[in-house]
Chain A
């Protein structure tokens, strides 16, 4: 008899966990996946592609229904889990009967933060988080609306790019003096800004939103410095918050996220958390790669093999507005480190490698990210780079050639 294992959340982490489990523990668990979105799990990373018209909504589905079926998974989408009873090992579902579990995995993800400013509740204020948001934004763009995107991080840039590409007039507001300030140094951010501006997006830095004007509908955004931007809609993309309500209500220890140990186990036996809702060693990751690593470790753990998750060296490695962006490690260059910088602004390239004690400790790449993974590998493995220092910024192929020579 298979043990009932329930996953709450039907996103990328959940899909990956099922995939991993089917590889290492096929048949051991009777898996049920409960998700509130009304569709099969899809690739959230690609929402911006859908918004930009580069992919159709149905194309971003992670796995077809048959895939889930073949793995014996009970899929309950469009279902809201309302309560977890840890003692009785039961989950209540809105308008449905309860489901019991032997093991529970929380993969509830996160939600977009809404700024606490006057007018934040007006009609026309949206977030950019799921396919429903995308449909809304596409409607706005189709009407050639003026849209203000609040937040110059990855999500905000993706939303701005998608909207602009879909036809909206977009202004992007960012609180800090540079875009993606947690991933990029000044020159990289400046280059990214100029590349994004080339797509017709207006970017305002040091832009702190004071209030949103409008009677019922948004009409403008006012900044703390009194600047005012006319707008038909506002998209909040200024950060995310792990979805922890269900866990909290169940008495599971929650800090920012659901606190988990190296086996991804929450404060209660047989309850686990992975993905953006989890907090491991004080860190809530907001990227897909740690979620996948966590899924892999958890699957092994659940299969009874010895596996531990010790955290991820986070690297940002993706396309922002069609521009390759990579950032990893000590990208600012701490005291005592040295920096190698290659820049060709008109050619849309910026590369910085930070070296400390003869090892690569950080990297930022804009434009040409072909060797991003190699740099990440060098950072992770702490390999001495003295022999390849002269050529490494020009890529692995050249550096290997000279190292061999």
Chain B
């Protein structure tokens, strides 16, 4: 598959001499879901923001869809969709009005109702963001990243703080975005989420990539090193019980 994003020796050093990202390299293929995993402070968000053109690059190079982010950040932003970790929107505006405003900022035309229907929010068209539930807010936030029909969307911890139903619902939305050929890059703290959604994952720690492969390969490699789980893995988890009892469908 052709490469859509090429990151080479990317570093970020802040003014106070903190090395947030220490020379990482990876590439993302067109149409895949690429996950970045890692504990808080590992440098996931900083990495994303440098790729997106939101934060200056200290050294290294990012080429996205053939464009160098450092040289033409506005041209890069024109082609991608960005969901920030804490998404906030203008107050007192309806969902359709916000989507149309964002479409104007990209110079694109959209059918806002259709887009809301895609993320399951058609009946909330005249709502204000503050009146949405957590899961609905995240789905709306993803809808705002799609107004320009991006080649790639960036989702920074899209499911953090959501209940299991809302999380699974969001997984389906992300799978749906992928099925249309859009490349997705996301960060998460949830391993089962990465396993379910991602074609490949990069595990970051202390500003470096410590492993990069498909989830299955990473597990195989661990087992090949002679790893034995400390406890017997139960055939079902408590989350499976919860989902079984309360249903997988969205109830917010």
A binds B: no
A residues whose Cβ falls under 8 Å from a Cβ of B: none
B residues whose Cβ falls under 8 Å from a Cβ of A: none
